[in-house]
A and B are shown apart, each in its own frame.
Chain A
Amino acid sequence: MNAQSAPALAIDGLRVEYPLANGSVFTAVENASLVIQPGEIHALVGESGAGKTTIGNTVMGLLEKPGRVAAGSIHIDGKKFDAVKGSATGIVLGRDVGAIFQDPMTSLNPLFAVESQLTEAMRFHLKLDKGDARSRALELLESVGIPEPKRRLKAYPHQLSGGQRQRVVIAAALSCNPKLVVADEPTTALDVSVQAQILKLLRDLADSRGIGILLVTHNMGVVAQIADHVTIMHRGKVVETGSTQEVLRHPKAAYARALIGAVPRIDQRLDRFPVLGDEGKGRAESARAELRAKAGRSEANADETPILSIENLCVDYTTSGWLPGSTGHRFRAVDDVSFSLRSGEVFGLVGESGCGKTTIANVVSGLVRPSAGRVLYRGQSIAGEGATRRVGPLRQAIQMIFQDPYSSLNSRMRIGSILSEPILFYRLATSRAEAETDVTRLIEAVGLDADASQRFPHAFSGGQRQRLSIARALGARPKLIVCDEPTSSLDVSVQAQILNLLKDLRDATGLTLLLISHDLAVVRQMCDRVAVMRQGQLLEQADSETLFDKPQHPYTQELLSLVPTLDRIRGETQAA
């Protein structure tokens, strides 16, 4: 590193405020300071609402009105940056500051080819002509590791995979040789193996080009893997800052300790996730006991038949061709998969996006029809060969929890109506009044206050909404709940609470859970048995302890080795 040159980014005493409608002022960031030297990766960590993205946006000149910088200074490459106007003498956004956004699916414009989106910044900032910009774009694509760059230049974003798109975004951020790159959750939307590649690319860019990188993330594993320094934020304030090794190994602030503790571990199984603060148990526990009493004895516990078995399941997606008789494209999403769930266990299904795990969830819940094979619920076929129409009790027995708690609750219905819907639909209560007591019990069982039933979903945070989704699934008194990525859109600490809740409910009501996730650490903490999928095929299934300690299939081994964890902290690898 070059000690003489000015820091890539120096923030001193930054305060960002949002004036509210009622005249008061919300302080999103207070007295934040950090310094990034060229070639250094500085991670900014915290939960949603911690102010980390606000800092990123301020540096990129994207602070949305009515937000304003109230105090403090920002220097980029030694030059003062006016965050209010988004300008500085000698600093041009896009030329000296590059940006990488979270979701590569949405940060590229779907109507323009890669070439146009890559070259426009160079043509405006470096005044290159079309030909020069094009040859430079080719170099950039090559340097970020995109195969066949010539062909990719002409491609539209939808023709590229998520990882390739993120590489294009990185190439665009690098196009004008920036001093500083702000990367806002650059790998959150990506699979583990792609994440590993992108992280390596960022690290290489910092090392070889001497770019300072401000990495905004909530993933501690990512921080451990590539950051040199880390700053932890909580409610707009910097809680702790220092070298990655120091902060992650010996956190001083209580919040930093709690946050790091909440990260699910992949190396060993814990009884419960450590959570921040009080879980508010008392009322919830008695509500769960009542739920259990109402649901009656889980009659199948003694029974040896698996609660759910999937036999030689295949699912094809086809598009019809132009001519009659031609089949068009056929895509086999699930290929000859068999496994079964014992009553009362938590079964995990892991794999990267596109491996077919969600398709299986959809088949189990009756949203997709299998092309071959069948699904049995307690020995009775519910999908595929010999399936009968799913009626009352069968439908009721299998419920789902979806990934996105923001779109899976109807925003125009009160919580009370949302939760009483399954109860009334399956006639589980004899009167409306009884249904209402049931709703109250459900809300308390998931750890919320009973008055929630009067409110609409928008009044709740993501974690609270996911609790409500769980309550809705429980309302039908199911035997099996299919959870499709139940925590992947939540913060670590909230994730820990939700997973604890699922565990408690499983213990209290004898539920069986089919947990679908790409997060291996979560799966290890939650599941009794695990199956690994790739490209529609089931590669390996085993008890989770066995699978994580002695993975048999090379793909499983590779997946496990790619997960960024707190055990592999940058700078320690040589020492270990």
Chain B
Amino acid sequence: MFKVLLSRLGQAALVMLVVSAVSFVMFRYVGDPVATMSRENASVEEKAELRRSLGLDQPLVVQYGRFLTRTLSGDLGISYRNQRPVTELIAERLPATLELVIVATILSLALGIPLGVLCALKPDGVAARLVQALSLVGISTPTFVTGIVLILVFAVSLGWLPSFGRGQVVDLGWWSTGFLTISGLKSFILPGITLALYQLTLIMRLVRAEMIDVLSSDYIRFAKARGLPTRYIHFRLALRNALMPVITVTGLQIGSLIAFAIVTETVFQWPGMGLLFIQAVSFVDIPVMAAYLLFVGLLFVLINTVVDILYAVVDPRLRARSA
């Protein structure tokens, strides 16, 4: 067990090292920082001086080492555009993205599981067929199209919901939340649905497939033979078995939701990390881009490591041997 843990952590560290190297290379080679930072008519000596003071005359390895040390101590540099520490910027934008992702995840689970069960129990019913057909649309429509259509219908034509931003937010310490005001809650609806749509169809299809599988298993037949009520068999017994893989997939999907919230945040001008990144790209704000890259890399590595370790813990064969 300890070996598994150790090797997983080792792998995680290795991946992060590679990600940080990519992010460092971006710093160093996407445009010349000296050219960006110095005055337009600076002399060659002035530039060389700046280069020396920034440590850019040192060998590459030394520079990478310094970059690593700084990154580990939490210093990700200063945004060219905002002239503020990148860590500060990210901390400021993080709550918006996380709250949006939470809403999207809850939405996709709350709708995806019942719809999946419905499709599994009545595969030939009208409702199940409709849901199946719609899920194809959901899975194949690009996020920005869904977002724009939703804005067009509910914000522009009907005027029911705001088309952009987080609405009013309340600050709780460093965390700003949109959950506590009406306009904040209203603002969640459209971007939440947009972001949830893909995951919702995924979960629905997964639940449907698992449920169909479980329903034909021996232990469900045995439960039927014991004359237990159908509702109890479906929702208490079978559903629990069907949800096992859903837990794994949802965990992994949260990571990609955070990373791929970029499109949704752009469409809805949601002041989260995705928007921060898009703005950084258009202004060649390299420290922000590099930090975003590092952050998303870290997020994926963390989630995957936790899932891997959980697998090792939950693996029934390991359980059986220690029993």
- Nearest CB of chain A from residue B13's CB, rounded to whole Å: 18
A103 touching B2, Cβ below 8 Å = no
Question: Per a CB cutoff under 8 Å, which of A62, A121, A173, A322 touches B228?
Answer: A121
In the complex, residue of chain B having the shortest beta-carbon distance to the beta carbon of A102: B218
In the complex, residue of chain B having the shortest beta-carbon distance to the beta carbon of A111: B240
- Bound together, the chains give a CA A94 to CA B225 distance in angstroms of 6
- Bound together, the chains give a CA A99 to CA B223 distance in angstroms of 9
- Nearest CB of chain B from residue A262's CB, rounded to whole Å: 28
A106 touching B218, Cβ below 8 Å = yes
Binds A, one of B148-156, B273-281, B314-322: B314-322
Contacts of B218 in A (CB 8 A): 101, 103, 106-107
- Bound together, the chains give a CA A189 to CA B3 distance in angstroms of 36
Within 81-120 of A, Cβ neighbours of B (below 8 Å) are at: 92-95, 97-99, 101, 103, 106-112, 120
Question: Per a CB cutoff under 8 Å, which of B1, B228, B241, B318 touches A111?
Answer: B241
Known contacts A111-B241, A323-B2; A158/B316 CB under 8 A: yes
Interface centre among B219, B227, B237 (most CB of A within 10 A): B227
- Bound together, the chains give a CA A92 to CA B229 distance in angstroms of 11
Contacts of A125 in B (CB 8 A): 227
Question: Per a CB cutoff under 8 Å, which of B1, B6, B237, B318 touches A109?
Answer: B237
A92 touching B322, Cβ below 8 Å = no
Contacts of A62 in B (CB 8 A): 221, 224-225
Question: Per a CB cutoff under 8 Å, which of B3, B227, B323 touches A159?
Answer: B323
- Bound together, the chains give a CA A323 to CA B1 distance in angstroms of 8
Q: Does B226 contact A (CB under 8 A)?
A: yes
- Bound together, the chains give a CA A323 to CA B6 distance in angstroms of 10
- Nearest CB of chain A from residue B234's CB, rounded to whole Å: 13
B228 touching A94, Cβ below 8 Å = yes
Q: Does A331 contact B (CB under 8 A)?
A: yes
Interface size on B, residues (CB 8 A): 30
Contacts of A494 in B (CB 8 A): none
Q: Does A26 contact B (CB under 8 A)?
A: no
Q: Does A124 contact B (CB under 8 A)?
A: yes
- Bound together, the chains give a CA A321 to CA B6 distance in angstroms of 12
Interface centre among A101, A107, A159, A319 (most CB of B within 10 A): A107
Q: Does A169 contact B (CB under 8 A)?
A: yes
A95 touching B227, Cβ below 8 Å = yes
B1 touching A120, Cβ below 8 Å = no
Q: Does B141 contact A (CB under 8 A)?
A: no
A99 touching B2, Cβ below 8 Å = no
Q: Does A274 contact B (CB under 8 A)?
A: no
A101 touching B221, Cβ below 8 Å = yes
- Nearest CB of chain A from residue B248's CB, rounded to whole Å: 15
- Bound together, the chains give a CA A322 to CA B237 distance in angstroms of 33
Within 104-162 of A, Cβ neighbours of B (below 8 Å) are at: 106-112, 120-121, 124-125, 158-159
Q: Does A60 contact B (CB under 8 A)?
A: yes
B192-232 vs A: 1/0 string, CB under 8 Å? Answer: 00000000000000000000000001111111111111001
Interface centre among B222, B318, B321 (most CB of A within 10 A): B222
Question: Per a CB cutoff under 8 Å, which of B4, B227, B322 touches A121?
Answer: B227
Contacts of A329 in B (CB 8 A): 321-322
Contacts of A324 in B (CB 8 A): 2-3, 6
Q: Does A561 contact B (CB under 8 A)?
A: no
Contacts of A243 in B (CB 8 A): none
B2 touching A319, Cβ below 8 Å = no
In the complex, residue of chain A having the shortest beta-carbon distance to the beta carbon of B222: A107
Known contacts A109-B219, A324-B3; A61/B225 CB under 8 A: yes
A60-89 vs B: 1/0 string, CB under 8 Å? Answer: 111000000000000000000000000000
- Bound together, the chains give a CA A127 to CA B18 distance in angstroms of 63
Contacts of A159 in B (CB 8 A): 320, 323
Contacts of B1 in A (CB 8 A): 319-322, 328
Interface centre among A92, A99, A326 (most CB of B within 10 A): A99
Known contacts A109-B241, A320-B3; A172/B322 CB under 8 A: no
- Bound together, the chains give a CA A121 to CA B227 distance in angstroms of 7
- Bound together, the chains give a CA A132 to CA B3 distance in angstroms of 47
Contacts of B226 in A (CB 8 A): 93-94, 98-99, 120-121, 172-173
- Nearest CB of chain B from residue A89's CB, rounded to whole Å: 15
- Nearest CB of chain A from residue B310's CB, rounded to whole Å: 15
Contacts of B319 in A (CB 8 A): 158
Contacts of B4 in A (CB 8 A): 320
B217 touching A106, Cβ below 8 Å = yes
Known contacts A106-B217, A106-B218, A158-B316; A320/B2 CB under 8 A: yes
In the complex, residue of chain A having the shortest beta-carbon distance to the beta carbon of B244: A111
Interface centre among B225, B237, B241, B316 (most CB of A within 10 A): B225
In the complex, residue of chain B having the shortest beta-carbon distance to the beta carbon of A184: B225
Contacts of B232 in A (CB 8 A): 120, 124
Question: Per a CB cutoff under 8 Å, which of B2, B6, B222, B322 touches A169?
Answer: B222
A319 touching B221, Cβ below 8 Å = no
- Bound together, the chains give a CA A440 to CA B150 distance in angstroms of 64
In the complex, residue of chain A having the shortest beta-carbon distance to the beta carbon of B220: A109
B321 touching A101, Cβ below 8 Å = no
B237 touching A93, Cβ below 8 Å = no
- Nearest CB of chain B from residue A328's CB, rounded to whole Å: 8
Contacts of A98 in B (CB 8 A): 226
Interface centre among B2, B4, B219, B221 (most CB of A within 10 A): B219
- Nearest CB of chain B from residue A228's CB, rounded to whole Å: 23
- Nearest CB of chain A from residue B238's CB, rounded to whole Å: 9
- Bound together, the chains give a CA A98 to CA B223 distance in angstroms of 11
- Bound together, the chains give a CA A96 to CA B272 distance in angstroms of 62
Within 201-259 of A, Cβ neighbours of B (below 8 Å) are at: none
Question: Per a CB cutoff under 8 Å, which of B2, B219, B227, B237 touches A106?
Answer: B219
Contacts of A321 in B (CB 8 A): 1-2
In the complex, residue of chain B having the shortest beta-carbon distance to the beta carbon of A122: B226
Contacts of A317 in B (CB 8 A): 321
A158 touching B323, Cβ below 8 Å = yes
Contacts of A97 in B (CB 8 A): 225, 227
Within 293-323 of B, Cβ neighbours of A (below 8 Å) are at: 316, 318-323
Contacts of A173 in B (CB 8 A): 226
Contacts of A120 in B (CB 8 A): 226, 228, 232
- Nearest CB of chain B from residue A358's CB, rounded to whole Å: 16
- Nearest CB of chain B from residue A264's CB, rounded to whole Å: 28
- Bound together, the chains give a CA A558 to CA B299 distance in angstroms of 61
B219 touching A107, Cβ below 8 Å = yes
- Bound together, the chains give a CA A111 to CA B1 distance in angstroms of 23
Contacts of A93 in B (CB 8 A): 224-227
- Nearest CB of chain A from residue B127's CB, rounded to whole Å: 20
Contacts of A106 in B (CB 8 A): 217-219
- Nearest CB of chain A from residue B25's CB, rounded to whole Å: 36
B224 touching A112, Cβ below 8 Å = no
- Bound together, the chains give a CA A95 to CA B226 distance in angstroms of 7
- Bound together, the chains give a CA A94 to CA B229 distance in angstroms of 11
Known contacts A124-B229, A159-B323, A320-B1; A108/B224 CB under 8 A: no
Within 37-79 of A, Cβ neighbours of B (below 8 Å) are at: 60-62
- Nearest CB of chain B from residue A79's CB, rounded to whole Å: 15
Question: Per a CB cutoff under 8 Å, which of B219, B240, B322 touches A319?
Answer: B322
Given A93-B227, A169-B222, A329-B322; 16 other pairs, CB 8 A cutoff: A101-B221, A106-B217, A107-B221, A107-B222, A108-B222, A109-B237, A109-B241, A124-B232, A158-B320, A317-B321, A319-B321, A319-B322, A320-B4, A321-B2, A324-B2, A324-B3
B residues near A, CB below 8 A?
Answer: 1-4, 6, 217-229, 232, 237, 240-241, 244, 316, 318-323
Q: Which 3 A-B pairs have the closest CB atoms?
A: A94-B227, A99-B225, A93-B227
Instruction: List 12 A-B residue pairs with CB atoms under 8 Å apart, sorted by A's residue number.
Output: A61-B224, A92-B227, A97-B227, A98-B226, A107-B219, A109-B220, A112-B240, A121-B228, A172-B222, A319-B318, A321-B2, A328-B1
